[in-house]
Each structure stands twice: as C-alpha cells, then as structure tokens.
Amino acid sequence: MHTISPSRPFWQIAVEALGAWRRRDADLADLRRCDPVEVNHIADDLGLSRATLFTLAAKWPDSADLLLQRMQVLGLDPKVVGAEQTADMRDLQRCCSCCDNKAECGHDLDNHPQDSRWRNYCPNSHTLAALQEGKSG
C-alpha cells in the first residue's frame, strides 16, 4: 500500500507500480512457458495446487507485504517465524496474497494499527494469534 505525500509524488508511485506489474507479468509468463510436469513439481514442492501457484505468481512479490507489517505490529519477527515455522509462514503468505481485504487492511495498518478490528476480516487472524500465544508462552 503506497501513500501519497509531498516527499513521494504520485508519478513516482505510479512508475514503481508499473515496474512491479511488469516484473510480475514477466514472472507469470516464465511460469507459463515451463513444462507442465515441471510446474506440477514446483507446486508440489511448495505445497500448493497448480491453480494457487499461478494465482500467487500473478500477485507476487509484494502481495504479502501487509502480512509483514501486521506481524511487526504484533511483535512477531517474520524472519524468525519463517525460520522456525516454515509451513506456517508459507500458509500466512499464501492467505495474505490471495486475500480480498487488502484495501481495508492497509487502511487499518496506516491509521489504526493497534485496533483489533482486523481480526474480523483477516484470513490469518487465528494463525497470527497462535503465533503470538506461542511467543509469549
């Protein structure tokens, strides 16, 4: 989520967004050129369905940035979680990447980061709560 400020003009944000879109488009095109058997292997290695792999490739690499922000607000270190609970982190990233509530989440993170209303719409709320509980317990 990008905010417009005097130090970050709209045109700069637009150029960055266009560049990110083109990189994602190129990554997706690379995946589509892969042999179908290889794509199935990649999906299996990641624990994803083929359809989910293509969905994530179309949204990656910044599609889970809000998750990283939310984890920081909750006092969870994404690097530690990724190293210690690899499968959980992968699932968190997948759910965040496919989430339809990004605008609301970004707004809440920007304006009310400590408010718990995000738990009502976030598909990761239960997993994040469990990780917090495990950290404090």
* pLDDT at residue 4, rounded to an integer: 44
pTM: 0.63
* pLDDT at residue 21, rounded to an integer: 54
Give the confidence band of 15 by pLDDT, cuts at 50, 70, 90. Answer: low
Nearest-angstrom CA–CA distance, 57 and 10? 26
- Residue 18 burial by Cβ neighbours in a 10 Å radius (0-12, 13-18, 19+): exposed
Neighbours of 92 (CB within 10 A): 25
Nearest-angstrom CA–CA distance, 47 and 29? 21
Kindly report, residue by residue over 88-107, the tens digit of the pLDDT: 998 898 889 888 898 999 99
